[in-house]
Structure 1
Amino acid sequence: MDRAALRHHGDVEALPGLADFAVNVRADRPPRWLHERLAAALDELGRYPSAQDDAAARASAAARHGRRPDEVLVLNGAAEGFALLPALKPRLAAVIHPSFTEPEVALTDAGVPVTRVVLDDHRLASARIPDEADLVVLGNPTNPTSVLHPAEAVRSLARPGRVLVVDEAFADTIPGEPESLAGDTTPGVLVLRSLTKTWSLPGLRAGYALGEEELLAKLGLHRPQWPVNALVLEAVRACCEPGAVAEAEAVARELEDHRAQFAKALAELPGVSVAEPARAPFLLLHVVGAAALRERLRDKGFAVRRADTFPGLTPDHLRVAVRAPDQTAPLLAALRELLEEPVP
């Protein structure tokens, strides 16, 4: 699999005018209250972000996860955290797949040796990680399989001399955030969080890393001065406040119901297999001829995510975002029509 394939993401599929089931973002804009907070912060663009601004954002994220502010590093999205991983100078990185591919790209581009650990049946128990790997990366819940690994199984991968990177970009889409290590202080564990999905902020690039102070200092060693802007700092501060956390929990509970309905309806379609148990705001499908099906869905006005660009998956896999029933009904109808068409 070449670099171009690894850098293929759902936004490429979501062309203007298509019903978007390719991107795993809650809505096409942030909630009004967050929009207003960010709009008010525009008045701060006439000055440099200060140490006090950064401290306020870190304190908010720290309080949300029961950590100290010096255990938080504000990022330009979780993706920046992956781009910074080479600064840790690993000798051998193990990336657990299928999963988000940017960590492998960043490490490979920096000349770090990378071994792919492809899971059997998407279960962490099958992971065969080389003992000499001093950096291990995985997602939880995992994109695109929607699997949520047990926290204890994830934590068991940590060991002295190894950094364990856990991509929790979708953790806040699950009620109660079970299995999250965001508040865990196990040595060497680095958790990356994103505001993109729940708060509909892909255009802002806002997130943060959680870990030991020394580990974060090493991760951010080569960042420029003023590495994040005033709007990112305000977004982190706002989205980690108690009211926002309560709202995210309510959204996650609604999403859980929508996912169950959508998965059931998809599994009833001819030839469609849904990867279960699914816990994230997307579903992985297996259907013979998925590549052609994706093109035909586009012709009918729907964008879905090809999944063969994830190591361990095939051209017969697709990923679809979970939406409300009134949004999924037209997609389900289109899928049924296409799947029931007689083969010429």
Structure 2
Amino acid sequence: MHSEVHDLRHHGDAEVRDDGSALVDLAVNVRADTPPVWLRERIAASLGSLAAYPDGRAARAAVAARHGLPVERVLLTAGAAEAFVLLARALKVQRPVVVHPQFTEPEAALRDAGHTVDRVLLRAEDGFRLDPAAVPEAADLVVIGNPTNPTSVLHPADAIGRLSRPGRTLVVDEAFMDAVPGEREALAGRTDVPGLVVLRSLTKTWGLAGLRIGYVLAAPETIAELERAQPLWPVSTPALAAAEACVAPPALAEAAHAAHRIAADRAHLVAGLGEFASLGLRVVEPAEGPFVLVRLPGAAAVRHHLRDLGFAARRGDTFPGLGEEWLRLAVRDRATVTRFLRALDRAMALARR
């Protein structure tokens, strides 16, 4: 358990602000070739109804059908980030625990809501693998990502399920699960795990970070609590149109195809990074998300040299459990990865001078 200070509100978009247009973005985990034309057209078609207040019933029903759940188990949110705020404000918990390293917004939201948050830090020497026994029995709220940002570790669903306890809320952030072929180890749609709350985001795979759309899957009583904490009409009409479109069968098939392509591109990236092993670079493996975590000497200097060479990488030291020697790299297409690897070679040479 640790409580050292980190910049929990630093996210990948900070790496590409201002001069970001001149940089190849490896810092933000949104798929680079999205949203596709058909989705942009679907969103544009919704603009004619902006005079009316948003009606989320159709989108909510579509998300419920996608996961085989009743609508009472679904809540649409303005991205997964809003869901973390709702959980922090609505649930009456006494001892929340966040499993790190992971996306820092859940802890930030809990602290902003006045909670004292404990951390369980997974260790690099263990491959950042979850040990359910490391989570205190007294924890009545546990938050974990799967696959985890930034480690790209995919935890077994059974291991996460062992965190369930009577009286405990188990929050699993599955924002990147649709980038995993077959969505293996997913808990979305499960109703047999007591206290389970699953968060999903549609902004990553579909390139909708500027639109803000996600959802929560949980027991009806939990959904009702969160809904009471939401403002009226929290999700815009264009975002609702996007949600309905992105969970339709053709979109799910496209996402499944993209997941396999991401896996192939990630393998190309990991293989290329392996060429730097003699220089001390290490990749956290097996990586299962649309990003990889690397540890290398002089990472801060390397990151700055990469910027000069036209590439933005995500610093790792703002994640609890990581330090300045870590970088997170988003997976891009093979051509971009090949250019990045050449730039990395140059940046590491400059950092060694």
The answer to whether the Cα contact below 8 Å between 1:119 and 1:126 also exists between their aligned partners in 2 is no
Q: 1:290 to 1:145 in 2, by over 3 A?
A: same
Structure 2: stretches of 5+ with no match in the other structure:
none
Q: Which amino acid aligns with 1:23?
A: V
Deviations 1:209-239 (A, max 9, x none): 0011111111222212212111111111110
Partner of 2:198: 191
How far did 1:292 drift?
A: 0.8
The CA RMSD measured in Å over matched residues stands at 1.3
Runs of 4+ in 1 over 4 A off after TM superposition: none
Does 2:326 align with 1:317? yes
Quote the Cα distance in structure 1 between the aligned partners of 2:272 and 2:252: 30
Does 2:17 align with 1:33? no
Q: Matched residue of 2:198: which SS?
A: strand
Partner of 1:17: 22
Q: Matched residue of 1:279: which SS?
A: coil
How far did 1:267 drift?
A: 1.5
The answer to whether the Cα contact below 8 Å between 1:74 and 1:228 also exists between their aligned partners in 2 is yes
Quote the Cα distance in structure 1 between the aligned partners of 2:102 and 2:352: 33
The answer to whether the Cα contact below 8 Å between 1:11 and 1:22 also exists between their aligned partners in 2 is yes
How far did 1:20 drift?
A: 0.5
Say which of 196, 203, 207 aligns to 1:200. Answer: 207
Partner of 1:326: 335
How far did 1:342 drift?
A: 8.2
The answer to whether the Cα contact below 8 Å between 2:132 and 2:162 also exists between their aligned partners in 1 is no
TM-score (norm 2): 0.94
Q: Which amino acid aligns with 1:64?
A: R
Does 2:244 align with 1:237? yes
Partner of 1:128: 134
- Which one is further off, 205-214 or 334-343? 334-343
Q: 1:250 to 1:194 in 2, by over 3 A?
A: same
The answer to whether the Cα contact below 8 Å between 1:175 and 1:249 also exists between their aligned partners in 2 is yes
Say which of 34, 38, 43 aligns to 2:48. Answer: 43
Partner of 2:273: 266
Q: Matched residue of 2:119: which SS?
A: strand
Does 2:140 align with 1:137? no
How far did 1:60 drift?
A: 0.8
Q: Which amino acid aligns with 1:292?
A: A
Q: 1:287 to 1:126 in 2, by over 3 A?
A: farther
Does 2:175 align with 1:169? yes
Q: Which amino acid aligns with 1:129?
A: V
Quote the Cα distance in structure 1 between the aligned partners of 2:105 and 2:351: 39
Does 2:83 align with 1:77? no
The answer to whether the Cα contact below 8 Å between 2:301 and 2:351 also exists between their aligned partners in 1 is no
Deviations 1:191-225 (A, max 9, x none): 00001111000000001000111111112222122
Say which of 295, 307, 327 aligns to 2:304. Answer: 295
Q: Percent identity?
A: 54
- Which one is further off, 138-147 or 268-277? 268-277
Q: Which amino acid aligns with 2:188?
A: A
The answer to whether the Cα contact below 8 Å between 1:117 and 1:127 also exists between their aligned partners in 2 is no
Q: Which amino acid aligns with 2:242?
A: A
- Which one is further off, 293-302 or 264-273? 264-273
How far did 1:343 drift?
A: 3.7
Q: Matched residue of 1:103: which SS?
A: helix
Quote the Cα distance in structure 2 between the aligned partners of 1:279 and 1:294: 23
Partner of 1:95: 98
Q: Which amino acid aligns with 1:90?
A: V
How far did 1:271 drift?
A: 2.3
Deviations 1:282-320 (A, max 9, x none): 000000110111011111111000011000001000000
Q: 1:227 to 1:273 in 2, by over 3 A?
A: same
Within 5 Å, which residues of 2 pair with 1:221-232? 221-232=228-239
Quote the Cα distance in structure 2 between the aligned partners of 1:321 and 1:215: 33
Quote the Cα distance in structure 2 between the aligned partners of 1:320 and 1:94: 27
How far did 1:62 drift?
A: 1.0
The answer to whether the Cα contact below 8 Å between 1:96 and 1:127 also exists between their aligned partners in 2 is no
The answer to whether the Cα contact below 8 Å between 1:195 and 1:206 also exists between their aligned partners in 2 is yes
Aligned length: 340
Q: Which amino acid aligns with 1:184?
A: R
Q: Matched residue of 1:191: which SS?
A: strand
How far did 1:338 drift?
A: 2.6
Structure 1: stretches of 5+ with no match in the other structure:
none
Q: Which amino acid aligns with 2:264?
A: D
Deviations 1:261-285 (A, max 9, x none): 1101112123211000100000000
Q: Which amino acid aligns with 2:62?
A: S
Q: Matched residue of 2:262: which SS?
A: helix
Quote the Cα distance in structure 1 between the aligned partners of 2:314 and 2:182: 28
